[in-house]
Every structure is written in structure tokens, then in C-alpha cells.
């Protein structure tokens, strides 16, 4: 009975609080960027500034793949990073269990993968995250760039996905309720943590690359 009550709490009030906190935090982050504004540049544009602002966030992720020397030295990290980002988005929005949850939250049921594909995606995401985490620990350059924030984020993401896998594939009965509750608890803590951590780079990225595209466009550089 206590397990069911805990599940009702984390799946109800606590998850709703986490989502509200997330949107308030992200809104604060966006407003802070907009208030700070863009430095004025009186130079006359020589290229297509609006086009570069639009295309840079889309094209930038693939630019690194065009440099064989760089890619060959960090191939595992590039592939793991790409796999993790795609996988994390997939397990967040496109697996059956989460699709039903999103329907409760937004009233619309998104498309979702089959069970087998969802399982493959979840395992691939976990494996790629572990590879990236180990790279941060053992790569001398990445180790210097890694702080406690990255380790907390990696732990929360890994714990969230791993408990989700355990809940849906490896346990049953009352243990399922306990594991599902722990999964939702970790997910809620992660949602609360995102706005004020480096995980919020998914918001900063678009502003940063758009500004970079603006700068490139003003200089007339073709990308």
C-alpha cells in the first residue's frame, strides 16, 4: 500500500511540480539571454545574415564530421555523442510508456516506436552515456573541462534510464511498482536539475549558434 501511495505521489504532485519548475527555469534562462541582448555591430553586412541565423543551428552539428583528422582521433566520442543525443530524445518522447504520459500532460498522444525498437534505443543510450562518461574521466582534456555538474547530470540520466529499463523489462509484481516509482523520482529530479545546469545547453545552443551565424553572415563567409 505504501508503495502505491509513493507511486501516486511521484507520478502526480511531484512530477507536476518538476515540470512546472522546469518551464519556469527555462523561461528564466531565455529571458536572461534576451535581456542581455546582442552587442551592437555597426559593420555593414556582406552576406545573408537572416539565412545564416536560421541555418547555422541546423548545420553546425555536422561540420565536425567533415574534418577526417579530427574525427579519426575522436571517432568513438563523436559517435557516442550523436547516439546519446538521438537516443535520449527518443526515450524521452518516442517510447510507448512515455507517449501515454505525454498524452496525460499535453492532451495529445505523440507517435511512438515499437517495444523492440524502444528497448534497443534505451540500451544504446545507456551504452553511449557510459562511453561518454568514461571519456570525461580518462581523457586528459575532457577531464580538465569536466566539473561536478557533468557528473551529477550523467548520474541522474543514467539512473533514470536504467531504472526505466529495469521497471519495464526485468522486474514484476510489487517490485515493479517500487522500481517505477524510483524511475519517476529520478526523472523528476533530473527535470528540476536541467534548467540550472549545463544540460540546458539545448536552449543555449540555439542562441549561441544563431549569434554565430549572424556574425558569419555579416562577414560574408559561406558555410
How far is Cα of residue 83 from the mean position of the Cα atoms in its chain? 12
Residue 194 DSSP code:
G
pLDDT, position 148 = 92
202 pLDDT band, cuts 50/70/90, is confident
Which triple of cell numbers denotes residue 172? 514484476
51 pLDDT above the threshold of 60: no
124 pLDDT band, cuts 50/70/90, is very high
Q: Give 24 or 74, the one with higher predicted confidence.
A: 24
Stretch 54-65: mean pLDDT = 59
5 pLDDT band, cuts 50/70/90, is confident
Segments making up each domain of the chain, as ranges:
2-36+66-205
Read off the pLDDT of residues 67-94 as tens digits, 9 standing for 90 and up.
Answer: 566 566 677 888 888 899 889 988 888 8
Which of 43-47, 128-132, 161-165 has the weakest average pLDDT? 43-47
C-alpha triplet 176, 179, 182: angle, nearest 5°:
150
Which triple of cell numbers denotes residue 116? 523492440
For 135, phi then psi, to 5°, come to -65, -40
Which triple of cell numbers denotes residue 12? 502526480
pLDDT, position 129 = 96
pLDDT, position 3 = 77
Which single residue is written with the C-alpha cell 509513493?
Answer: 6
pLDDT, position 168 = 84
Q: Is 141 exposed, middle or buried (0-12, 13-18, 19+ CB in 10 A)?
A: exposed
Q: Give 218 or 7, the one with higher predicted confidence.
A: 7
Percent of the chain topping pLDDT 70: 70
> 2-36+66-205: which CATH topology?
Fumarate Reductase Cytochrome B subunit (1.20.950)
Q: How does the average pLDDT of the chain come out, rounded?
A: 79
Amino acid at each position: 500500500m505504501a508503495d502505491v501511495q509513493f507511486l501516486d505521489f511521484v507520478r502526480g504532485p511531484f512530477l507536476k511540480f518538476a515540470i512546472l519548475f522546469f518551464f519556469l527555469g527555462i523561461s528564466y534562462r531565455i529571458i536572461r539571454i534576451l535581456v542581455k541582448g546582442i552587442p551592437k555591430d555597426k559593420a555593414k553586412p556582406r552576406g545573408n545574415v537572416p539565412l545564416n541565423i536560421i541555418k547555422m543551428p541546423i548545420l553546425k552539428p555536422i561540420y565536425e564530421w567533415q574534418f577526417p583528422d579530427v574525427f579519426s582521433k575522436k571517432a568513438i566520442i563523436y559517435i557516442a555523442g550523436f547516439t546519446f543525443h538521438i537516443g535520449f530524445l527518443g526515450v524521452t518522447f518516442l517510447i510507448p510508456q512515455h507517449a501515454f504520459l505525454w498524452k496525460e500532460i499535453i492532451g495529445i498522444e505523440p507517435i511512438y516506436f515499437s517495444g523492440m525498437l524502444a528497448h534497443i534505443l534505451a540500451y544504446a543510450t545507456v551504452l553511449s552515456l557510459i562511453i561518454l562518461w568514461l571519456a570525461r574521466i580518462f581523457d586528459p582534456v575532457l577531464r580538465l573541462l569536466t566539473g561536478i555538474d557533468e557528473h551529477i547530470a550523467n548520474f541522474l540520466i543514467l539512473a533514470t534510464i536504467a531504472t526505466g529499463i529495469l521497471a519495464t523489462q526485468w522486474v514484476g509484481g510489487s517490485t515493479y511498482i517500487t522500481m517505477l516509482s524510483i524511475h519517476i523520482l529520478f526523472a523528476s529530479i533530473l527535470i528540476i536539475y536541467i534548467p540550472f545546469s549545463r544540460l540546458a545547453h539545448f536552449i543555449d545552443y540555439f542562441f549561441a549558434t544563431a549569434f554565430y551565424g549572424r556574425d558569419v553572415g555579416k562577414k560574408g563567409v559561406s558555410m
